[in-house]
Amino acid sequence: VLSGMQLTIPPSPHLVFGAGVAGQLPDAVRALGGERAFVVADPGVVVAGLVEPLVEKCRAAGIDVEVFDGVQPNPTDVDVATGLAALRSFGDAVVVAIGGGSAMDSAKCMALAADNEGEGIDYCFHPQVGDDGRIDFSTLAPPRFPTAPARSVVAVPTTSGTASETNGAGIVTDTTAGRKLAFTNDDVRPRRVLLDPLLTVGLPAYPTATCGMDALTHAIEAFTSLLAQPLTDAIALGAIEMVATWLPRAVADGTDAEARAQMMLAAHMAGIAFSSGPLLGLVHAAGHPLSARLKAAHGQTLAVMLPHVMAFNAPVVADKYARVAVALGVADSTASSEDNTQRAIDAVRALSETVGTATTISGLGGTEDQRDVLVEDALSDPVILTTPRPPTRAEVAELYRAAW
Contacts with Fe ion, residue ranges (CB under 5 A): 214
**CB 117 to Fe ion: min, Å:** 29
What's 329's DSSP letter? T
How far is the C-alpha of 87 from the C-alpha of 91, rounded, in Å?
6
106/152 with CB nearer Fe ion = 106
Whose CA is closest to 361, among 310, 293, 281? 293
**CB 283 to Fe ion: min, Å:** 9
How far is the C-alpha of 279 from the C-alpha of 34, rounded, in Å?
32
How far is the C-alpha of 353 from the C-alpha of 347, rounded, in Å?
10
**CB 214 to Fe ion: min, Å:** 4
**CB 61 to Fe ion: min, Å:** 34
Beta bridge partners of 94: 37
How far is the C-alpha of 223 from the C-alpha of 114, rounded, in Å?
35
21/267 with CB nearer Fe ion = 267
Q: Who's near 248: CB < 8 A, 6+ residues apart?
A: 351, 354, 355
67/250 with CB nearer Fe ion = 250
Number of other residues whose CB lies within 10 A of the CB of residue 105: 27
**CB 162 to Fe ion: min, Å:** 6
214/377 with CB nearer Fe ion = 214
69/214 with CB nearer Fe ion = 214
What's 334's DSSP letter? T
165/214 with CB nearer Fe ion = 214
**CB 222 to Fe ion: min, Å:** 11
How far is the C-alpha of 116 from the C-alpha of 231, rounded, in Å?
36
Is the separation of the CB atoms in 111 and 96 below 8 Å? no
Whose CA is closest to 387, among 320, 301, 296? 320
Closest residue to Fe ion, based on beta-carbon distance: 214
**CB 211 to Fe ion: min, Å:** 9
How far is the C-alpha of 91 from the C-alpha of 236, rounded, in Å?
40
67/163 with CB nearer Fe ion = 163
Whose CA is closest to 250, among 267, 272, 269? 267
